Structure formats: structure tokens, C-alpha cells
Structure 1
Amino acid sequence: MGKKLMRGWSVVAFGFVVLIFSACPSDAITCPEAIKSLAPCQDFLVGDAAKPSPFCCAGVQSILSQAGTPETRRDLCECFKKAAAAGGVKIDKAKQIPNSCGISLPVPIDPNVDCSK
């Protein structure tokens, strides 16, 4: 009887895990979460750091891994355009991040990029 009960609870627990992960898509990163992930890039993007830190690169990579849908990428594109304009980001330095971090971005780093495409 104890094994059957334990097996039953295991099935229920597994069902909850599946339900939780299906209800919360992993690629649904929000603008505030993305901006927070880029906090380690601040010294490079608005300051005098010569290159992005490994933590900056990890933050960018984390955002990319969570931006799995076109809608999420469009939302993040708009988010970053607004944040860059408001935060005094040096665009020439921002354009260096993909090469410096060894990553490929789905959209160009350009303040005039059309995020709807």
C-alpha cells in the first residue's frame, strides 16, 4: 500500500511540475528584467570601460536565450530603444557588444531600427 501511495504522489507532483512549466514560458522576459540583466554593461555602455565585462556578456546571452518568440524580440527591441535614448548609451560602444561577447543578435544595434520587422 505504501508504494502505491508514494507512486500516486509522484505522479501528482510530476503533473504540477509540467503544469507550472507549461503555464510560465521560459522566453517571456519583461523589459524591466532585461534592463536588470544589462546592469553589468553600464560601465561599458555609458562609462569609460574599454570592453564589456564577462558579466555583461552573460546578461546579454541570458536575454537572448529568453527572447524566443518574435513578439518578445519586438517588445525587447522597443524597450532597449527607449532605455538607450533615456540612459545616454554610447551607440558606438553598444555596437561592439556582439563582437566583444562573441554573440549574434537578431536585430541590429541602431537607434533607428524598425522593431516591427
Structure 2
Amino acid sequence: MGRSSGIVCLMVMCMVLSAPHAQATITCGDVTGYISPCLAYAMNGGGCPANCLLEGVKGLNNAAATTSDRQATCECLKTLAGSTSFSHAAEIPDKCGVHIPYTISPSTDCTKVT
């Protein structure tokens, strides 16, 4: 899958997954917007790009202020981590030095995120 088709696929999956989280104010589209500076890392690994840390991870972490927002964000990132195109997604928090209250993994139970 090419880079642009992988991003389009992620955005579509995020839109589909955002429906069950109607009470959340953050959507998968928002999540995708925040993490867009991190997508190259999620696909290829390497060092944490400065804009991924500042605009991406920290911005997303601050935007997901409520439990429902964190659960919705978790579901979107869970989908990202499950994509073979984004095999390094789970490494982003550690690589960029930011704590999030869950592991970015296809097996994460996002209903337990508080």
C-alpha cells in the first residue's frame, strides 16, 4: 500500500470508528489531524520529529481531556497500530517521551481507559 493510500485508509477507518463515540467531542478526524506530523515515523521509524512531539502527541494528549475523548482517541490509535503500513505507531509515545494512559496496540481494551 502506498503512503497516500495508507493515509486515506487510516482516515476512512477513523471516520467509521468515531460513530460509536457520539458523546466524545474528539473524532478520529481530529486524531488524524493531530498525528499527521507523526505518520512518517509510524510508517518508517527513526527519530521523533519535533513537530510530531509538539503538535502531534502533546496536542492530542491535551485535546483528549475527558474519559470519552481518551477512549475515542484510543480506538482511533488502536486502528492505526493494527495497520501494517503503520508498524511503528506503538513506539511513538516512548520515542517522543510522552506518557499516554494506554498502549497503542490492536489488542488494547479502550473501554478501560479512564
State the TM-score, normalized to the length of structure 2: 0.67
Structure 1 counterpart of 2:68, from 71, 75, 82: 71
Number of residues paired by the alignment? 88
Partner of 1:9: none
**1:46 pairs with 2:28:** no
Superposed, 1:37-116 pairs within 5 Å as 37-47=34-44, 49-58=45-54, 59-86=56-83, 88-90=85-87, 93-116=88-111
5+ residue gaps, structure 1? 1-26
TM-score, length-normalised on structure 1? 0.65
Higher share of residues assigned helix: 2
For 1:70 and 1:87, locate their aligned partners in 2 and report how far apart those are by CA, in whole Å.
28
Label 1:85 to 1:96 Cα distance change in 2 as closer, same or farther (>3 A).
Answer: closer
Cα 1:40–1:87 shift into 2, 3 Å: farther
Cα distance in structure 2, aligned partners of 1:67 and 1:79: 12
Percent of residue pairs bearing the same amino acid type: 31
After superposition, the CA RMSD in angstroms is 1.9
